[in-house]
């Protein structure tokens, strides 16, 4: 197995880059939506030093098997709010990811047209055998982000 696949996942959202960046980086907001369906982020595990060189940590837990836990530890190698952050990650507990091979996660928030923000996620390297599964996982998480933003918008209306 050779980890040599970089994932690229994109979706356009209505809110501004500032709103989306905060949803990705504020520990309380992140804990409210991160994780594919059937998973959740334990809110009390999220820590994030929002700066270049800052550390980030969170634990995703499988809803129906709480003993199944995936831990992400990261360091921000680029941090330009509200436009982009890059983190060097170590992920443990995911059988498709070698915890000894760091991943890079780049998340860009790009203005599109008059009323949109493109979120572009670039992450890897993944082994080809698990890359598609993880790409689908990001798609599902972005759907959860949209649902979270929709609910938040209704609350403030």
Write the CA distances from 147 to 53, 96, 150, integer angstroms: 31, 27, 5
Give CA–CA dist 39/56, Å, rounded: 19
Tens-place pLDDT, residues 60-118: 999 999 999 999 999 999 999 999 999 999 999 999 999 999 999 999 999 998 889 99
- Domains and their CATH numbers in the chain: 3-156 (3.30.530.20)
Tens-place pLDDT, residues 12-71: 999 999 999 999 999 999 999 999 899 999 999 999 999 999 999 999 999 999 999 999
Determine the length of the chain. 157
| Furthest CA-CA distance within the chain | 50
First to last CA, the chain: 50
Picking from 151, 153, 89, 145, the residue whose alpha carbon sits closest to that of residue 119 is 145
Answer yes or no: are the C-beta atoms of 155 and 33 closer than 8 Å: no
Write the CA distances from 4 to 7, 101, 112, 124, integer angstroms: 10, 11, 30, 7
Answer yes or no: are the C-beta atoms of 17 and 82 closer than 8 Å: yes
Give me 150's structure tokens: 């929709």
């Amino acid at each position: 197995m050779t980890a040599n696949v970089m994932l690229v996942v994109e979706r356009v959202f209505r809110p501004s880059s500032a709103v989306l960046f905060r949803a990705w980086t504020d520990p309380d907001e992140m804990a409210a939506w991160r994780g594919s369906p059937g998973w959740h982020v334990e809110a009390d595990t999220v820590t994030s030093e929002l700066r270049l060189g800052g550390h980030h940590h969170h634990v995703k837990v499988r809803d129906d098997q709480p003993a199944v836990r995936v831990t992400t530890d990261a360091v921000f190698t680029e941090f330009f709010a509200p436009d982009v952050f890059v983190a060097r990650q170590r992920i443990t507990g995911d059988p498709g990811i070698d915890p000894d091979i760091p991943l890079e996660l780049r998340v860009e928030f790009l203005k599109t047209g008059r009323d949109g923000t493109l979120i572009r996620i670039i992450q890897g390297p993944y082994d080809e055998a698990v890359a598609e599964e993880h790409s689908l996982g990001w798609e599902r998480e972005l759907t959860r982000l949209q649902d979270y933003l929709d609910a938040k918008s209704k609350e403030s209306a």
